[in-house]
Amino acid sequence: MAYVAEAAERGFGGAGFAPRVRRGDVRAAALVLLAEEERNGYQIIQEIRERSGGLWRPSPGSVYPALQQLEDEGLVENEEVAGSRRYRLTEAGRAYVEERAEELGEPWAEVARSVPEDRHELRLLWGQLSEAFVHLTHVANDRQVAAAKRLLAGTRRGMFEILSDDGEAEDETESADD
C-alpha cells in the first residue's frame, strides 16, 4: 500500500504520465480565468481541469496561495458572496492581463501538451474507472462487490504482468483492440 501512496504523490506512473506544471502556471491560469469573469477558488480549479481535458487539477493548496499572492500584489480582490469567497481582477489586474495576454497564454494547454497522447488516454481511462468505482461503492450489492473485487485483483495482476513482460503484452493488447 505504501507504493500506491507514493505513486499517488508522483501522479501515478512517474515521468511522462503526470503533466508538467511550471512555476507560475497556477498564477497565470487564475489571472486568465478571472479576466473572463469572477470566480471562487473551486470554480478556478474546476475550469482548469475542464480546459486541460482532465489532465491538470491544481490542488487548493496551490490555488488559494496564488490567489492570496495576487491579492497582495493588488491584481485581485475578493468579496464574500453567499458564503463563498468570489475573486475578481482589480483595474490593475485587468491592465496586467491585457499587457501580458500573449505571455500568459493558456497555461492549461501547455500542461496538456506536456503529456504524451497515449498517457493522456490512459489517464482518461483511469478517471472513468475511478468514476465507476465510486458509483459501485454506493449502489452495488454484495454479489456485485465480490465480482468487482475479483476483477480489480485480476486487473492489478495483469498490470504487473505487463510491467514485467518484455513487450509481448503490448502485441497482445494491440491485437485485442483490433
Q: Report the CATH fold assignment for 19-113.
A: Arc Repressor Mutant, subunit A (1.10.10)
| pLDDT tens-digit readout, 54-101 | 778 889 999 999 999 999 999 999 999 888 999 999 999 999 999 999
| pLDDT tens-digit readout, 51-63 | 887 778 889 999 9
Task: Identify which has the larger pLDDT, 178 or 85.
Answer: 85
What pLDDT was estimated at residue 154?
93
Domains of the chain, residue spans = 19-113, 117-177
pTM higher than 0.95 = no
Q: Nearest 5 degrees, angle CA 18-CA 20-CA 22?
A: 150
What pLDDT was estimated at residue 57?
84
